[in-house]
């Protein structure tokens, strides 16, 4: 076991693969003796045709492997369309840690998730490396930072799965809404748990346990669920001018690095965008620190729940 001090100093832990794991073969026992070690199929063998599935008579799932044309792919794409693939992220596990400013600063493009695009496609569309681009279809849209590359085929773009919604502007009310949602769920769970419990001490203990669990779940609503719902449909994107009062960096708790913030003051007619402390990237922090602008541009959009979402700074 690696001592914590060593891990903290190096920043990572290398786990060696056991020798036995390198010799493991899927269905190895079946291959060695199929009669003694049958598979979990009706015949005990590898089946290229499954009668049970065939008997279900599902239009899109026959009993044998068959090519089914996707509803959307390059084979039926319209002129100008691109095929979007969403691989696992290099810097995180699915969406875990997608809200980490430190990780975002490692690979974000102008504060956005990167999208890899072929150089030929980029040239046709007038896109340069580092530009902000919009990917959209009939179901929604996302803004990403372009990474122009020949490592991806023409007609295909790649953007990581699991990105979190953009930062909510101050005064959105989602934290209060998250607290209310947490309280309602906590009370509902408590009522369900104690519905058949008559002992008063057991009911009090259940109430305490539910309350503690609810408080731990508050960030899930306030930072995860509600912002995700709010960010599912952004509309009315606009740029507003705000006065830059100051910038600051705060030390992260129990971690190396800093969070970067800007105190911005809004005019009374800034489309509901309020004054307050806004999270900014390290790049914006350095830029504004050097240039010290009196006024800055903040791009915002209204989310599905009505909360204003910050989509960019200039």
The verdict on domain 80-159 having CATH code 2.40.40.20 is yes
Question: What pLDDT does residue 48 have?
Answer: 92
Q: H or E segment at 102?
A: helix 101-107
Query: Under a CB-based contact definition with an 8 Å cutoff, are residues 260 and 101 in contact?
Result: yes
pLDDT at 283 over 70: yes
> What mean pLDDT value characterizes the chain?
81
Percent of the chain past pLDDT 90, that is, above it, reads: 21
Return residue ranges of the chain for CATH 2.40.50. 235-313
In terms of Cβ atoms closer than 10 Å to its own Cβ (0-12, 13-18, 19+), residue 66 is exposed
pLDDT digits (tens, 9 = 90+) for 76-129: 888 889 999 999 988 888 877 776 767 777 888 877 889 999 999 999 999 999
Percent of the chain past pLDDT 70, that is, above it, reads: 83
Structure tokens at 225: 């669920």
Sequence-ordered strand ranges (E) for the chain: 83-85, 114-118, 132-137, 140-149, 156-159, 235-251, 258-266, 276-280, 295-302, 308-313
Q: Mean pLDDT throughout 179-186?
A: 74
pLDDT digits (tens, 9 = 90+) for 120-163: 999 999 999 988 888 888 776 777 889 999 999 999 999 998 87
Q: Mean pLDDT throughout 56-71?
A: 88
List the 140-149 sheet strands across, edge first: 83-85, 156-159, 114-118, 140-149, 132-137
Return residue ranges of the chain for CATH 2.40.40.20. 80-159
How many of the other CB atoms lie within 10 Å of CB of 51? 10
Query: Under a CB-based contact definition with an 8 Å cutoff, are residues 308 and 247 in contact?
Result: no
Structure tokens at 300: 């915002």
Contacts of 124 (CB under 8 A, 6+ apart): none
Question: What pLDDT does residue 136 have?
Answer: 80
Q: Mean pLDDT throughout 217-246?
A: 72
82-96: b (≥16 Cβ within 10 Å) or e: beeeeeebeebeeee
Its CATH class, for the domain covering 235-313, is mainly beta
């Amino acid at each position: 076991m690696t001592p914590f001090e060593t891990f903290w100093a190096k920043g990572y832990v290398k786990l060696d693969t056991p020798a036995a794991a390198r010799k493991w073969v899927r269905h190895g026992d079946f291959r060695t003796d199929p009669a003694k070690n049958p598979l979990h199929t009706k015949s005990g063998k590898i089946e290229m045709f499954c009668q049970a599935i065939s008997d279900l008579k599902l239009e899109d799932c026959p009993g044998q492997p068959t090519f089914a044309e996707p509803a959307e792919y390059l084979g039926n794409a319209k002129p100008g369309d691109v095929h979007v693939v969403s691989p696992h992220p290099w810097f995180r596990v699915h969406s875990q840690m997608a809200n980490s400013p430190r990780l975002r600063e490692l690979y974000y493009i102008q504060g956005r998730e990167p999208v890899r695009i072929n150089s030929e496609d980029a040239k046709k569309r007038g896109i340069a490396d580092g530009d902000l681009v919009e990917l959209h279809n009939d179901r929604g849209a996302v803004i990403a930072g372009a990474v122009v590359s020949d490592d991806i085929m023409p007609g295909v773009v790649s953007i990581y799965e699991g990105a979190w919604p953009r930062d909510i502007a101050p005064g959105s009310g989602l934290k209060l809404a998250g607290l209310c949602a947490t309280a309602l769920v906590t009370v509902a769970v408590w009522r369900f748990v104690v519905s058949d419990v008559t002992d008063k001490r057991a009911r009090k203990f259940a109430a305490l346990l539910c309350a503690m669990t609810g408080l731990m779940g508050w960030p899930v609503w306030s930072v995860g669920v509600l912002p995700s719902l709010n960010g599912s449909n952004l509309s009315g994107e606009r740029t507003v001018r705000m006065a830059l009062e100051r910038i600051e960096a705060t030390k992260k708790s129990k971690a190396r690095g800093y969070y970067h913030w800007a105190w911005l003051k809004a005019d009374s007619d800034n489309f509901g965008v309020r004054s307050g402390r806004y999270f900014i990237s390290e790049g914006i922090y350095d830029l504004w620190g050097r240039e010290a602008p009196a006024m800055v541009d903040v791009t915002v959009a209204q989310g599905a729940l009505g909360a204003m979402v910050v989509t960019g700074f200039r």
